Amino acid sequence: MSTFSRFFHTFFRSRRSAGGFTLVELTVVVAIVVVLTGLILFRHSRFDSSTLLRSLAYSVALSVRQAQVYGTSVRGVGAGSSVYAPGFGVHFSETEPTRYFLFSDVDGDNTWEASETVTTQSLGRGFSIRDICAVTAGGTVSCMSGGGIDWMTVYFRRPNPEAIIYTSNGSAYSYAYIQVQSASQTDYRSIKVTTVGQIAVCGLNADVASC
């Protein structure tokens, strides 16, 4: 039996023997119950949000992996799947904080165009892209939040599994990461993609360098 259970059991048993409750005693009991209920609901809400955020991060990582699989295989697109794009990618943009695009690079220019979109993925439930960053081999970081880049594309060209990272500032990067955040904007997770083709989901509010 918990401490609270023993307290209420002893309290109510003593009050029954004393002949009832006063208004002050009832008010105190109700206040305690309200506070405990609020704490339980708050913790449940945080747990639910954290679980959904983790699921979303893995969903974004899966989309990047899907582009990698499509990019290294011969997947047809268009009517009757008769058009074969030289590569596939995933496009993230500052102007689209609640969705991203999986695309087939039909014209071979290594960039996303609306007409090349295969699927549009919505983050949903108030989630949004917190930041997109690309890091050079020398450690220079360019991020959307710092005004360094406006968009980023993670691209895979057949038959290689390596990722090519393009941004509005160029393509000389060793890895990139996409941060998605909860509706409350207090928690986030990062999806890290390296040029050798590795895709990882970092821990809750974790430093990307340790991912």
In this prediction, residues 160-176 reach a mean pLDDT of: 92
Amino acid in the structure at residue 153? T
Rounded Cα gap, residues 170 and 117, in angstroms: 21
* Spatial CA neighbour of 170 closest among 185, 183, 153, 194: 153
Rounded Cα gap, residues 31 and 63, in angstroms: 48
Helix/strand/coil for 111: coil
Q: What is the pLDDT of residue 109?
A: 87
pLDDT tens string 33-61: 666 666 555 554 554 578 899 999 999 99
Buried b (16+ CB within 10 A) or exposed e, 59-68: ebbebbbbbb
In the chain, % of residues over pLDDT 90: 53
In 73-102, alpha helices (H): none
Rounded Cα gap, residues 195 and 162, in angstroms: 5
Q: Give all domains of the chain, ordered by start, each with its CATH number.
A: 43-210 (3.55.40.10)
pLDDT band at residue 125 under the 50/70/90 scheme: confident
pLDDT tens string 76-113: 666 556 667 788 999 999 999 999 999 998 888 888 99
* Peptide bond between residue 159 and the one before it cis (omega within 30 degrees of 0): yes
